[in-house]
């Protein structure tokens, strides 16, 4: 058996293992300007295939959700693929809203071939503009005036003839018909003079009776003539209307024929023009209205049809979908709506204030993004859609029904009583692409039953790319393409190697390359700035290193304050010497987008007890659930490893000293176990080391996150106090493939001034930190004498014996009393 006092130390990692082994010699170009542009999307084949399928599949409910971390080029990939697909498609049809002359509050939607919508609008403007000149001319023509005069003369002559005959008849009967302000009155005559009451009374009865009879006769005849006057007036109006209709029809039909000849044969369009023809003929009088302020016809400018001459709006054409181009060319629309409010998404109806009231008409219908994208593609940010009131519900409704119906939030909630419009819905033929993070996708999948039916395609972008020789060459081409797109200097091979190493750090894995192209682009542009200052024609490794250091320096104020509190011994951290039950644990703090590591002193105290392990962080509600889980796991390890034939008779407490915020994660569970073992074995822990790693119930030390930041956090404290060559960090062996450390740490390891030691089991950490082997049970089930584990077990057995003796004493005292 090996001597348990002879410690076996795990070997420190060489400097070459602390970051990706890549060098400029791997690349055979002078600068990235010599490399061809990256035509695809490196490492995103799975997501690209899903997006291409969404762009090409003919079934309407195969909309796509593009999910991935921000910075991976989600929108750029989507835009490029959709524009490529859109270029092969025919232009979508136009959609216009026109007046519904029978029910004006329900405007009619008409689908037209591409470009015809704008042609129809212009044709209608020209039609009304022409009629505004032609119709007045028709009604001022000599032919119209002659025919109108004939009608008027016939009406006047018929009236005059009847009245003249009556006047002659009245004179023959010695009766006068007098015109008064109140109408006509009939009275008798005597000796050619009107009978006054006195003269009438002076007549004999026979004469009075004769006068009365004559007056009654003429008065009845006058009544018959006046009774026939409305009929004659009605007949007169009918003749005038027939003349006006005939004149207007001639002008309107000629103008409509000209419009029809310029437009294609479409049933809905022909039906609309027929209703326009009938309405123009019936309402020709609106063209005779005078407006001295109006010049150049009813449609002289872009806004005249809306404001200057409202009487002509009934004949306007509201182009909802249409680019106003020619019939030539192709390409479906690709619309990105950055503010997907309800109105911006499905359209809205605007209102104007007139004399204190809100009024609207079909010309005030405004299209939404779904209208503009009809026949093509629309790209929406999932979070923005979900954040806007009613937007997500409206989008789903449109996709379910296959049509776009315009309504307002006020109508939806019955808060508005203003007269509004109910326009025809427009069929929806748009592929919707939602872009969001994975959390959004999974939450929608779990909480919205409609989501899986409406968004059948999942385009999941990778965050990183496995590192191999082919990947490095493709990554170099991608870096060159990013530089070209950003308009900056190319990179020399050394700079490409440097950015590759940084890509592994961003990925948190030395065997993976990040695909966060936004962050890489930011680094390259900063490096280009420093290359400009250094007078370099190409970006060099020095420029990359300067950019990285400056990025870190700008964000490091909180890190410096944290480290300063340690170097000034406000926060107590030892980096040399030894102490029982005390160990340096490592954690990562995130401030905005910047993460840094810092050591924390973790201490343990033990004594006889009832098997309780007190996690002070948990008891004070400063510890998170995962941290508490780690403590319970190490408690399970203690119970199953030591003195298994007797009850656990331990009371122990664990705490992060001078920690006043929350603690979560299980990356300190290995340190907590080692502190407990040190306290139980009364074996000092070398304070030159810090450790990170989680532990399972079998004592294996497991991988954790943020290993690079944690190592650098302890290194910076040691460097500030002076590196002794003994200092180092113990990391889980599984984390060695995640190392991508900064140059300052690598140089210290190269010069044997700092150590990074991988450990796979708690026994390895015990041997290194406590200077003695942990010890394994022999064939008799006993730990080697003097080993750490033997000392721990002896201490726990002592606790159990003392607890048993204490119990007997208490029982005896109870019996005596």
- pLDDT tens per residue, range 44-90: 899 999 999 999 998 888 999 999 998 888 999 999 999 999 999 88
Q: What is the pLDDT of residue 293?
A: 42
Q: Where are the alpha helices (DSSP H) in 487-607?
A: 493-507, 517-534, 541-555, 557-567
Residue 108 binned pLDDT confidence (cut-offs 50, 70, 90): very high
Q: Is 495 helix (H, G, I), strand (E, B) or coil?
A: helix
Q: Which of 333-347, 501-515, 634-648 has the lowest mean pLDDT?
A: 634-648
Q: What is the pLDDT of residue 341?
A: 94
Q: What is the pLDDT of residue 292?
A: 46
Q: Which of 478-492, 520-534, 602-616 has the lowest mean pLDDT?
A: 602-616
8 Å CB contact between 64 and 458: yes
CB atoms within 10 A of CB 817: 5
Distance CA 757, CA 198 (A): 144
Q: What is the pLDDT of residue 290?
A: 57
Among 408, 587, 659, 667, which one carries the catalytic annotation?
Answer: 667
Burial of 16 by CB count in 10 Å (0-12 exposed, 13-18 middle, 19+ buried)?
Answer: exposed
Among 600, 653, 710, 772, which one carries the catalytic annotation?
Answer: 710
Q: What is the pLDDT of residue 737?
A: 92
Give catalytic status of residue 667 as yes or no.
Answer: yes
Burial of 671 by CB count in 10 Å (0-12 exposed, 13-18 middle, 19+ buried)?
Answer: buried
Residue with tokens 């966060």: 516
Residue 2 binned pLDDT confidence (cut-offs 50, 70, 90): very low
Share of the chain above pLDDT 70, in %: 87
φ/ψ of 633, rounded to 5, equals: -65, -45
Select the highest-mean-pLDDT range: 3-12, 293-302, 746-755. Answer: 746-755
CB atoms within 10 A of CB 146: 9
8 Å CB contact between 517 and 73: yes
Domains of the chain with bracketed CATH: 90-330 (no CATH), 565-801 (3.30.230.10)
Q: What is the pLDDT of residue 224?
A: 73
Residue 255 binned pLDDT confidence (cut-offs 50, 70, 90): confident
Residue 355 binned pLDDT confidence (cut-offs 50, 70, 90): confident
Residue with tokens 């008799």: 780
Residue 554 binned pLDDT confidence (cut-offs 50, 70, 90): very high
713: which 2 tokens?
Answer: 């956090």
Q: What is the pLDDT of residue 294?
A: 44
The residue-averaged pLDDT of 320-335 equals: 70
Share of the chain above pLDDT 90, in %: 45
φ/ψ of 811, rounded to 5, equals: -65, -40
Residue 5 binned pLDDT confidence (cut-offs 50, 70, 90): very low
Burial of 814 by CB count in 10 Å (0-12 exposed, 13-18 middle, 19+ buried)?
Answer: exposed
Residue 815 binned pLDDT confidence (cut-offs 50, 70, 90): low
8 Å CB contact between 392 and 386: yes
Contacts of 155 (CB under 8 A, 6+ apart): 232, 233, 235, 236, 239
Dihedral sign (CA 729, 730, 734, 736): positive
Burial of 32 by CB count in 10 Å (0-12 exposed, 13-18 middle, 19+ buried)?
Answer: buried
Distance CA 44, CA 40 (A): 9
pTM of the entire structure?
A: 0.80
The alpha carbon torsion through 48, 49, 52, 58 (nearest 10 deg) reads -150
φ/ψ of 96, rounded to 5, equals: -130, 150
C-alpha angle 347/351/357, rounded to 5°? 155
Q: What is the pLDDT of residue 454?
A: 94
Contacts of 395 (CB under 8 A, 6+ apart): 340, 345, 370, 380, 385, 432
Decide if pLDDT at 817 tops 60: no
Distance CA 557, CA 550 (A): 12
Q: What is the pLDDT of residue 614?
A: 65
pLDDT in tens, 473-494: 999 999 999 999 999 999 999 9
Distance CA 79, CA 739 (A): 35
The residue-averaged pLDDT of 375-395 equals: 94
In this predicted model, which residue has the larger pLDDT, 816 or 282?
A: 282
Q: What is the pLDDT of residue 257?
A: 86
Decide if pLDDT at 155 tops 90: no
């Amino acid at each position: 058996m090996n001597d348990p006092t002879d410690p076996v130390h795990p070997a420190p990692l060489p400097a070459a293992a602390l970051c990706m082994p890549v060098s400029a010699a791997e690349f055979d170009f002078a600068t990235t300007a010599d490399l061809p542009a990256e035509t695809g999307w490196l490492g995103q084949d799975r997501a690209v295939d899903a997006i291409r399928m969404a762009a090409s599949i003919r079934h309407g409910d195969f909309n796509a959700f593009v999910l991935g971390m921000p910075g991976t080029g989600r929108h750029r990939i989507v835009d490029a693929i959709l524009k490529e697909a859109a270029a092969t498609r025919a232009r979508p049809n136009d959609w216009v809203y026109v007046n519904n002359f029978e029910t004006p509050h329900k405007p009619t939607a008409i689908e037209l071939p591409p470009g015809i919508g704008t042609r129809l609008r212009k044709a209608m403007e020209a039609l009304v503009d022409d009629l505004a000149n032609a119709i007045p001319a028709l009604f001022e023509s000599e032919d119209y005036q002659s025919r109108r005069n004939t009608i008027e003369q016939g009406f006047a002559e018929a009236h005059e003839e009847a009245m003249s005959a009556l006047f002659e008849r009245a004179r023959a009967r010695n009766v006068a018909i007098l015109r008064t302000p109140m109408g006509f009155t009939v009275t008798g005559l005597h000796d050619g003079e009107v009978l006054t009451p006195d003269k009438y009374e002076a007549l004999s009865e026979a004469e009075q009776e004769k006068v009365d009879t004559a007056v009654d006769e003429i008065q009845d005849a006058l009544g018959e003539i006046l009774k026939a006057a409305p009929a004659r007036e009605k007949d007169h109006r009918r003749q005038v209307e027939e003349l006006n209709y005939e004149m207007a029809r001639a002008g309107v039909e000629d103008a409509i024929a000209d419009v029809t000849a310029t437009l294609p044969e479409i049933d809905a369009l022909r039906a609309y023009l027929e209703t326009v023809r009938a309405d123009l003929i019936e309402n020709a009088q609106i063209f005779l209205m005078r407006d001295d302020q109006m010049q150049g016809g009813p449609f002289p400018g872009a806004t005249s049809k809306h404001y200057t001459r409202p009487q002509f709006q009934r004949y306007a054409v509201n182009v909802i979908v249409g680019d106003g181009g020619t019939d030539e060319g192709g390409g479906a629309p690709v619309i990105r709506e950055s503010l997907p409010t309800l109105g911006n998404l499905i359209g809205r109806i605007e209102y104007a204030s007139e004399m204190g009231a809100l009024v609207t008409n079909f010309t005030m219908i405004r299209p939404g993004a779904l209208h503009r994208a009809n026949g093509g593609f629309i790209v929406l940010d999932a979070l923005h859609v979900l954040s806007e009131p009613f937007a997500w519900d409206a989008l789903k409704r449109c996709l379910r029904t296959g049509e776009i119906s315009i309504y307002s939030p006020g109508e939806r909630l019955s808060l508005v009583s203003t007269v509004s419009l109910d326009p025809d819905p427009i069929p929806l033929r748009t592929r919707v692409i939602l872009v969001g993070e994975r959390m959004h996708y999974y939450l929608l999948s779990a909480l919205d039953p409609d989501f899986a039916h409406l968004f059948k395609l999942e385009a999941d972008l990778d965050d990183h790319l496995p590192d191999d020789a082919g990947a490095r060459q493709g990554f170099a081409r991608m870096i060159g393409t990013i530089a070209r797109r950003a308009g900056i200097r190319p990179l020399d091979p050394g700079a490409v190697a440097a950015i590759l190493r940084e890509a592994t750090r961003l990925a948190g894995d030395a065997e993976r390359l990040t695909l966060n192209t936004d962050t890489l682009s930011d680094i390259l542009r900063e490096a280009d700035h420093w290359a400009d200052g250094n007078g370099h024609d190409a970006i060099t490794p020095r420029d990359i290193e300067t950019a990285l250091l400056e990025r870190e320096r700008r964000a490091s104020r909180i890190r410096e304050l944290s480290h300063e509190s340690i170097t000034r011994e406000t926060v107590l951290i030892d980096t040399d010497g030894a102490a029982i039950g005390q160990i340096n644990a490592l954690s990562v703090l995130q401030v905005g987008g910047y993460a840094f590591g810092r050591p924390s002193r973790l201490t343990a105290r033990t004594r006889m007890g009832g098997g309780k392990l007190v996690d002070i962080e948990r008891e004070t509600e400063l510890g998170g659930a995962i941290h508490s889980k780690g403590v319970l796991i190490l408690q399970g390890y203690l119970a199953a490893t030591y003195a298994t034939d007797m009850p656990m008779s331990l009371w122990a407490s664990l705490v992060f000293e001078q920690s006043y915020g929350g603690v979560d994660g299980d990356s300190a569970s290995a340190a907590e176990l080692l502190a407990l073992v040190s306290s139980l074995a009364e074996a000092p822990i070398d304070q030159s080391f810090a450790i990170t790693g989680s532990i399972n119930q079998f004592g294996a030390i497991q991988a954790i996150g943020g290993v690079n930041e944690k190592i650098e956090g302890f290194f910076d404290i040691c460097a500030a106090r002076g590196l002794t060559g003994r200092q180092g960090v113990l990391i889980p062996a599984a984390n060695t493939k995640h190392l991508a450390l900064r140059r300052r740490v690598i140089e210290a390891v190269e010069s044997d001034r700092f150590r990074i030691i991988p450990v796979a089991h708690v026994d390895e950490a015990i041997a290194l930190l406590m200077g003695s082997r942990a010890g394994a049970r022999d064939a008799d089930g006993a730990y080697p004498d003097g080993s750490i584990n033997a000392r721990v077990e002896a201490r726990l057995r002592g606790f159990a014996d003392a607890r048993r003796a204490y119990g007997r004493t208490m029982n005896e005292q109870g019996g005596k009393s």
